[in-house]
């Protein structure tokens, strides 16, 4: 396995500043979500907010290792069975939709990344349960992010909670290290076994991001060529925070 970068206290302080900005942007975007707005309009709002806070978009122009076209937008906006990485479009949000917003910024040379899931208007009980379970899984995963534990401890905790609630965790996508690049080592699956994988050390900064489905965990490419959707068409949810390991334990950098 490749070496996992270690950040200095100064690095983490800058990343915390960027993370706080990202949290503010995400909160302002969340307040704009309503029936009838298009995901393209949300993308335009995200770009205006990034400019307002003197940051740069992380995703616009990004090319994955799979060699796909450069990503055309600053915001990933994925609806219903699409779980992540979907490019915003002219789609108008409808009552009962499940919207995933995933946004990254670069600030003073470092990246921050976070995601939330929002119900549009009134959503059904099972959709609310899926969102609640995924958000709780992130919280539980962060609690396991401490020196001496392993990344397998994080994955096992997330998987156990999600499956106990009757849902599935995605296997094809995972969390990741972050710093001067948006994606660094290690990869952090949302499933696994306790005490397995690399040990967590002070100075590591990484993104924990449970991705869940209401049905089977298998994904396939979405119609836009960027996003991923559940193969069985079931609803999906996604939450993400950027987390630093400090002398005082895990610090969520993308908190307001």
DSSP 13-39: HHHHHHHHHHHHHHHHHHHH--TT-BH
User: For residues 4 and 2, what is the distance between their CA atoms, to the nearest angstrom?
Assistant: 6
CA distances, 157 to each of 189, 209, 219 (Å)? 11, 13, 22
89 burial (CB, 10 Å; 0-12 / 13-18 / 19+) is: middle
Please report, rounded to a whole number, the percentage of residues in the chain having pLDDT higher than 70. 98
Beta strands in the chain (DSSP E): 56-57, 75-79, 82-84, 98-107, 110-119, 168-169, 175-177, 184-188, 205-208, 211-213, 219-221, 228-230, 236-238, 241-246, 249-252
User: For residues 114 and 98, what is the distance between their CA atoms, to the nearest angstrom?
Assistant: 17
Q: Give which of 1, 46, 57, 2 is closest to 24, Cα–Cα.
A: 46
Residue 100 is predicted with a pLDDT of 98
CATH fold of 9-252 reads: Creatine Amidinohydrolase (3.90.230)
Query: Percentage helix, strand, coil, to 5, in the chain?
Result: 30, 30, 45
Per-residue pLDDT tens over the stretch 123-174: 999 999 999 999 999 999 999 999 999 999 999 999 999 999 999 999 999 9
Per-residue pLDDT tens over the stretch 59-95: 999 987 665 789 999 999 999 999 999 999 999 999 9
| Domain ranges, ordered by start, for the chain | 9-252
The predicted model gives 217-236 an average pLDDT of: 96
The predicted model gives 44-55 an average pLDDT of: 98
């Amino acid at each position: 396995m490749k070496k996992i970068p270690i950040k200095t206290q100064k690095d983490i302080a800058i990343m915390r500043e960027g993370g706080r900005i990202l949290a503010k942007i995400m909160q302002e975007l969340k307040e704009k979500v309503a029936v009838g707005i298009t995901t393209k309009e949300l993308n335009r709002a995200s770009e205006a907010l990034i400019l307002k806070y003197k940051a740069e978009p992380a995703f616009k122009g990004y090319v994955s290792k799979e060699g796909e076209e450069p990503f055309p937008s600053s915001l990933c906006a994925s609806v219903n069975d699409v779980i992540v990485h979907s490019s915003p479009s002219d789609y108008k949000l409808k009552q009962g939709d499940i919207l995933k917003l995933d946004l990254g910024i670069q600030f003073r040379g470092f990246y921050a990344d976070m995601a939330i899931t929002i119900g549009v208007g009134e959503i059904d009980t099972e959709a609310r349960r899926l969102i609640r379970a995924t958000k709780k899984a992130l919280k539980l995963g962060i609690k396991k992010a401490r020196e001496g534990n392993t990344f397998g401890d994080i994955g096992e905790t997330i998987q156990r909670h999600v499956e106990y609630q009757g849902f599935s965790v995605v296997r094809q996508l995972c969390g990741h290290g972050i710093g001067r690049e948006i994606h660094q080592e290690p990869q952090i699956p949302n499933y696994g076994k306790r005490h397995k994988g690399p040990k967590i050390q002070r100075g590591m900064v990484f993104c924990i991001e449970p991705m869940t489905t209401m049905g089977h965990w298998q994904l396939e490419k979405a119609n836009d060529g960027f996003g991923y959707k559940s193969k069985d068409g079931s609803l999906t949810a996604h939450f993400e925070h950027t987390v630093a390991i400090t002398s005082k334990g895990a610090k969520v950098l993308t908190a307001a």
